[in-house]
Structure 1
Amino acid sequence: MRNFLIGLSAAAMLAACQTTPVNNFDVAAMDSLLSGAVDSGEIIGVSALVFDEGQVVYENAFGLRDRERGDPVELDTVFRIYSMSKPITSALIMDLVEEGKISLDDPVSKYIPELADMQVAGVDDNGTPKLSAQTSPMTIEDLLLHRAGLGYGIFGPMNPVEELYEKAGLFEQGEDLSAKMQKLSRLPLVAQPGDGWYYSYSIDVLGRVAEVVTDEKFSDLLQDRIFDPLGMKDTGFYVRPDQKPRFASNYALTENGFVLQEDGQTSEFLTKPEFESGGGGLISTLDDYAAFAQMLLQGGSYKGVQILKPETVRLMMSDHMDPDDTFMMSWLGADKNKSFAYGGSIITGDTEDQIAATGEAEGTYSWGGMARTNFHVDPNNNAFAVIMLQYFVQPDPPIHDAFRALVTQEVRDD
């Protein structure tokens, strides 16, 4: 596949080249890694940015954002970030906690009464399905940690509860967040609130909590409190007409190679939604998300504007799972040195072999999206990185580990 190295004007490229020797980041190695993944057919297109010790040390783009039209990925290409919406929503909630509008210990039912008495699915001693009453209320912190007992409805026939969530219409458009809470209230929980980690609909519930406590629309809250202060002009719940030419198509990797999943020029993201999903509904760009990551790295501050207090960011990016919590999905756990913070995972320990293989250094906060966008913030090395892809595949593609490993190697060596 033809390579595309694009998006930098001559002046911007000169500026980038001027910053690189100061930090000694191996630009050539990263270019080779990313362009090689495009050339080999592992990925269709990619953009990536690395920030280290106060400056952008790498930013580049390769490949295609639209294979059918031959349009290249550029630095301002707009991507579906799906679950990378979750850290942003979590940051908004922490802003409301700072203001005293909500408390992490508050029961969710204080703001959404219909979620007070959801039944808990289980089986009796004979293996017969049964429903039980909640023994404890779900809290705001439980929602931030995916520890509220909620299901999701995106995992297929993983269990009977997931199937019920999938059929409930929790992601259909034509309804606002308030209507979604009514639907959610009629579904069972996977587990008792507070008992363990199950990736879930909980961040979408937090979007409704934010609306209730402020009497403002969720998208307006994000715009006023996160996007505008950070200059995230290309992030939102739909693609504006002026963004449409820059919007990437989405693909799926099958046994027969990449197939078009959604054409960027006819996408449902071109329409302003009624359901604003804080768990997976945002679109963004490389530079926009980098601004958010930089704010987290810098203790809540970005270009002189304090979005969150430093202690709030430290709290957000800390391990909050209890020792007796169960990880009901295999993604996290003590055996992987990986736990959960507010809105993203946290690396709780590392080895040299682990760092060499995956770049996952202790203290790193990260999360990704269903179309394989990904970011991580590494406070111990004063660095962060963002990588944007646009295709569905399970599990994570090898380029993620390779990218993060090279980043960590470089920021540790400077």
Structure 2
Amino acid sequence: MHAALTQLTRPFGTRVAVPRRLSPLTTVGDEVDPTTVGLRTDDVERIWKAVRAFYRTGLQPGMSLVVKHRGEVVVDRAIGHRRLGADDLITTDTPVCLYSCSKAISAVLVHRLVEEGGLALDDTVASHLPEFAVHGKEAVTVRDLLTHRARLARLPLRKPETDELLDIDRVVAALCDARLARSPRQAYHAVTGGYLLDAIVRRTGRSFPGLLEEYLAGPLDLPTMTYGVPEDRRDAVALSYWTGPTVVPPLTTVITRVLGVEPHKVPDGLNSPGAMSSVLPSAGIWASAHDAATVFEMLMRGGELAGTRVLSPGTYAEAVRPAGPLVMDGMLPVPIRFSAGFMLGEPTASLYGWNTPEAFGHLGFMNITCWADPARELSVAFLNTGKSASPEAVVRLAAVNWAISKAIPRTQA
């Protein structure tokens, strides 16, 4: 029996108690010998060493990582527990809330709906939601929502609590009545775009859960990937927790501005039955590391996996095409480029490591990354249940992604 996980309160915040030996907390799935896909065993072990170092910070109750190279699983490991105070270990089959990595998967579904003729990227939002056409918003398009250029990054609600964000019709009405930001530059839409995309999809007669089942979960056999969590499966998921300091200016100030709510309130909000019963395209998909990695493996292969084509080559190319140059984002604020649904890599440093110009994916609330790099024949899902604004967490997450991009060299010039 594994010792139950506890939380310790320390002078500089709340952290998980970490034992000296981590092997009893670690699960390992089926991995190929790295040398069979041209990798060195030592380099793959350095990836896991970076994950273990992250876990030793005490900021992560549970972590799961799946790394695929050339279609083979080279890392299939998890460490920690599903929940605080429980014995059950997290595994790479345990569903975790993907937070903003949900945006990338929701974008895939929007692109698929475009492909079948349900809407077009250059449709105005108002052509589907006529009530949106006020205060100068008539020209805002679906593409603008996906590329974070709609100038609606801020929630038009005054200091909302997390339960207010689950009143979806109220939030959509507020966004329809909102005024555009004055600055025309790119500014990350942490939650606003998802509400509007959901309303647009529903006006076409479809739904995000229906699209997910029809085009991803069913054809690609993704049993854990859902919007929210059905009641009969809620006991099996890993919950998320705020860890580290509650307040870390200026980072928490930035996150509050981006999300519209204080960041330490978000995990409990998304763990709630109300959130698990809601469709939140920007933050509410749950999936295991295996299932998330499978989606990005499909994307790494140009929209097709094992004979199942999800996106046509043209649709795929449109989905990953940069929407503009590298700029300092108006909300995050970091230098970043977006496509219509993805955060993009760079020839120098990026979220995905060094020399990742073809990489694309997404960051999920500071500590989750799901991404693909066709030049490396690489797909990754790194899921974590600790939500922390600690600078240490940012550094450790970067170290894991850098270890992955360093261990798996580019196979394409």
Interval containing the TM-score (normalised by the shorter chain): 0.7 to 0.9
- Code of the residue aligned with 1:252 in structure 2: it is W
CA distance in structure 2 between the partners assigned to 1:326 and 1:271 by the alignment: 32
Q: Is the CA contact (8 Å cut-off) linking 2:352 and 2:405 kept in structure 1?
A: no
CA distance in structure 1 between the partners assigned to 2:66 and 2:352 by the alignment: 20
- Code of the residue aligned with 1:208 in structure 2: it is A
- Of 76, 80, 89, 1:63 maps to 80
Does residue 380 in structure 1 map to residue 378 in structure 2? no
- Code of the residue aligned with 1:397 in structure 2: it is V
Instruction: Name the structure, 1 or 2, with higher relative contact order (CA <8 Å, separation 6+).
Output: 2
In structure 2, list runs of 5 or more residues that go unmatched.
1-17, 248-263
- Of 310, 313, 323, 2:313 maps to 310
Q: Name the structure 2 match of 1:279.
A: 282
The secondary structure found in structure 2 opposite 1:148 is coil
Larger radius of gyration: 1
Q: Name the structure 1 match of 2:104.
A: 87
Q: Is the CA contact (8 Å cut-off) linking 1:359 and 1:406 kept in structure 2?
A: no
- Code of the residue aligned with 2:379 in structure 1: it is F
Q: Is the CA contact (8 Å cut-off) linking 1:332 and 1:339 kept in structure 2?
A: no
CA distance in structure 2 between the partners assigned to 1:356 and 1:106 by the alignment: 31
Following superposition, the deviation at residue 21 of structure 1 comes to 4.1
RMSD: 3.1
CA distance in structure 2 between the partners assigned to 1:406 and 1:322 by the alignment: 26
Q: Out of 382-391 and 237-246, give the one that drifted further.
A: 237-246
- Of 395, 402, 408, 1:405 maps to 402
Aligned length: 369
Q: How does 1:164-243 map to 2 (within 5 A)?
A: 164=157, 166-167=159-160, 172-173=165-166, 175-176=167-168, 178=169, 180-191=171-182, 195-200=185-190, 201-213=192-204, 215-243=205-233
TM-score, normalisation: structure 1: 0.79
Q: How does 1:252-331 map to 2 (within 5 A)?
A: 252-255=242-245, 267-269=271-273, 273=277, 275-321=278-324, 327-331=329-333
CA distance in structure 2 between the partners assigned to 1:191 and 1:277 by the alignment: 27
Cα distance 1:243–1:377, how it changes in 2: closer, same or farther (>3 A)?
same
- Code of the residue aligned with 1:405 in structure 2: it is W
Q: Name the structure 2 match of 1:123.
A: none
Q: Name the structure 1 match of 2:38.
A: 23
CA distance in structure 2 between the partners assigned to 1:223 and 1:83 by the alignment: 19
Q: Is the CA contact (8 Å cut-off) linking 1:7 and 1:76 kept in structure 2?
A: no
CA distance in structure 2 between the partners assigned to 1:101 and 1:63 by the alignment: 43
Cα distance 1:360–1:71, how it changes in 2: closer, same or farther (>3 A)?
farther
- Code of the residue aligned with 1:328 in structure 2: it is G
Following superposition, the deviation at residue 399 of structure 1 comes to 2.2
- Code of the residue aligned with 1:344 in structure 2: it is F
CA distance in structure 2 between the partners assigned to 1:287 and 1:37 by the alignment: 20
TM-score, normalisation: structure 2: 0.79
Following superposition, the deviation at residue 7 of structure 1 comes to 4.1
CA distance in structure 1 between the partners assigned to 2:312 and 2:186 by the alignment: 29
The secondary structure found in structure 2 opposite 1:412 is coil
Cα distance 1:144–1:356, how it changes in 2: closer, same or farther (>3 A)?
closer
Question: CA offsets, 1:24-82, max 9 Å, x none?
Answer: 24332223222233234353321111111221111111122223123322121221111
Following superposition, the deviation at residue 413 of structure 1 comes to 7.1
Q: Name the structure 1 match of 2:142.
A: 140
Following superposition, the deviation at residue 357 of structure 1 comes to 9.7
- Code of the residue aligned with 1:381 in structure 2: it is R
Q: Is the CA contact (8 Å cut-off) linking 1:89 and 1:207 kept in structure 2?
A: no
Following superposition, the deviation at residue 242 of structure 1 comes to 5.0
- Code of the residue aligned with 2:198 in structure 1: it is G
Cα distance 1:256–1:226, how it changes in 2: closer, same or farther (>3 A)?
closer
Q: Name the structure 1 match of 2:338.
A: 340
CA distance in structure 1 between the partners assigned to 2:352 and 2:304 by the alignment: 32
Q: Is the CA contact (8 Å cut-off) linking 2:367 and 2:384 kept in structure 1?
A: yes
The secondary structure found in structure 2 opposite 1:72 is coil
Following superposition, the deviation at residue 322 of structure 1 comes to 6.1
Q: Is the CA contact (8 Å cut-off) linking 2:59 and 2:386 kept in structure 1?
A: no
Q: Name the structure 2 match of 1:48.
A: 65
Q: Is the CA contact (8 Å cut-off) linking 1:170 and 1:183 kept in structure 2?
A: no
In structure 1, list runs of 5 or more residues that go unmatched.
120-132, 154-160
CA distance in structure 2 between the partners assigned to 1:87 and 1:189 by the alignment: 24
Cα distance 1:56–1:171, how it changes in 2: closer, same or farther (>3 A)?
farther
Q: Name the structure 1 match of 2:387.
A: 392
Following superposition, the deviation at residue 404 of structure 1 comes to 1.0
CA distance in structure 2 between the partners assigned to 1:413 and 1:102 by the alignment: 36
Following superposition, the deviation at residue 17 of structure 1 comes to 4.2
> Share of identical aligned residues, percent?
21
The secondary structure found in structure 2 opposite 1:71 is coil
- Code of the residue aligned with 1:139 in structure 2: it is T
CA distance in structure 1 between the partners assigned to 2:50 and 2:401 by the alignment: 11
Following superposition, the deviation at residue 403 of structure 1 comes to 1.0
CA distance in structure 2 between the partners assigned to 1:152 and 1:285 by the alignment: 30
Cα distance 1:289–1:370, how it changes in 2: closer, same or farther (>3 A)?
same
Cα distance 1:195–1:241, how it changes in 2: closer, same or farther (>3 A)?
closer
